[in-house]
Structure formats: C-alpha cells, structure tokens
Chain A
Amino acid sequence: EIVLTQSPGTLSLSPGDRATLSCRASQSVINNFVGWYQQKPGQAPRLLIYGASTRATGIPDRFSGSGSGTDFTLTISRLEPEDFAVYYCDQYGSSPWAFGQGTKVEIK
C-alpha cells in the first residue's frame, strides 16, 4: 500500500508569489499516475493535474505538475487570489488508490 505525504502542511504566501507543493510516495508510483486537486471551502475537489504533469481541461497554465517515481511537485507560478485553497495529491497507479493529507495555501 502506497502512502502519500504532502509538505508543507501550510504554505503562507502573498498574491503573485510562486507556490511549490510536494507529494512524496512511500513506493514508486506506477506510470507516474499522480493527480493534484484543489478544494475550496464548501466545494467538491477539482482536478488540476493528472499523470503527474498533464493539465486537466480549463486549468490555467500557471499550474504545472512535475516529478516521477516517488517525488512529485505542483507549482503555481504566480498566485492569484482565487488560488488560496487546500491542495491534495493522489496516486492511482496501484491498488489501493490513496490521497495525501493535503497542503493549505493561505494568504500571508
């Protein structure tokens, strides 16, 4: 069973800053099947990235994903006010699928 650890737990940044979120897997993720999600209060999660680096439809290009094996990163190049939210990674390369515990990006 793969365990995903996200860091940091909270990221305090200002609009316009660059955000770098980490997702580390306890074992190599098959096919780099890692996704990243954004969740705002009172809303369902929204898929941003799948396959470690492919943006979902309609996702702005300030969001990018990278990594392979056990280390994956979500980068938000310049934070917009609407980007302050909680971000989760997941792995779906092997069963059981799993989510990380989340990183909150808050306004500094």
Chain B
Amino acid sequence: QVPLVQSGAEVKKPGSSVRVSCKTSGGTFRSYTISWVRQAPGQGLEWMGRIIPILDETDYAQKFQGRVTFIADKATGIAYMELNSLTSEDTALYYCARSLSTQTSCYFWGQGTLVTVSS
C-alpha cells in the first residue's frame, strides 16, 4: 500500500492560490508529522514546513509564513497545503512526506504534484 498519494498537476495564474492534497494510507494520521517540501525545476529540496495533525500544530518556514497554510483533516486522513499569491517562482514540484516515528522526518514521500504558475 502506497503510504502517501498526492493530487494531480495544477496550472495557475499569477496571484491565484493552489491547494495540493496528500492522502495517507489507511486514512489515519496516527502520530505522524507531515512535511511539505518543494523542488523548483533543476533545483534542490526546500522545506516549507510541517504539521502534526494529532496536536494540530504547524511549523512554517519563515519564507512562506503568511502565504501558506497546512490543514489536516483527521476524519479522512488527508493533508492539504494551500499556497497563496502565486508567482512564477512558485512553479515547482510539491511533495508531502511523513515521519515514521519521532526519530525521523521525511521517511515516506508522496509522488509529487507539479504546480505551474503561468499567465
């Protein structure tokens, strides 16, 4: 069973918002941490932040503070990442990843969701 399945590719206009979903296998978060990581074309990995669903705690990278929101629907086991005020620099592959235990960060990864921002 695939641990994390993400929603499909998106094309957005500058200034708009995007929501990417990440479904956990079994439909439950247990005590996992869900991280969001993005990768611009040809670039490295960039940590955007994380959410601990069982505690309803979020931790956002300063770069995205005020522009990104992480949501975890405990009833369905689906995590969401919403990014607002999109620019062309937000064009990237967006990954969700989850921990295995408190000793790990990104143990399992989703397949990635390509977000393209273009007028």
Whether B109 pairs with A45 at a CB distance below 8 angstroms is: yes
Report the interface size class on chain A.
20 to 34
Known: A44-B95, A44-B110, A44-B112. A98 touches B47 (CB 8 A): yes
Whether B109 pairs with A97 at a CB distance below 8 angstroms is: no
How far, in angstroms, from A102 to B45 measured CA to CA in the complex?
A: 8
Interface majority SS on A: helix, strand, loop or mixed?
loop
Q: Is A18 an interface residue (CB 8 A)?
A: no
How far, in angstroms, from A100 to B43 measured CA to CA in the complex?
A: 11
Encoded as 1 (CB less than 8 Å from any B CB) or 0, chain A from 48 to 66 comes to 0011001010000000000
Whether B106 pairs with A35 at a CB distance below 8 angstroms is: yes
Whether A33 pairs with B105 at a CB distance below 8 angstroms is: yes
Whether B109 pairs with A92 at a CB distance below 8 angstroms is: no
Chain B residues with CB under 8 A of A98: 47
How far, in angstroms, from A50 to B50 measured CA to CA in the complex?
A: 18
Q: Is B119 an interface residue (CB 8 A)?
A: no
Chain B residues with CB under 8 A of A100: 44
CB distance from B113 to the nearest CB of A (A): 11
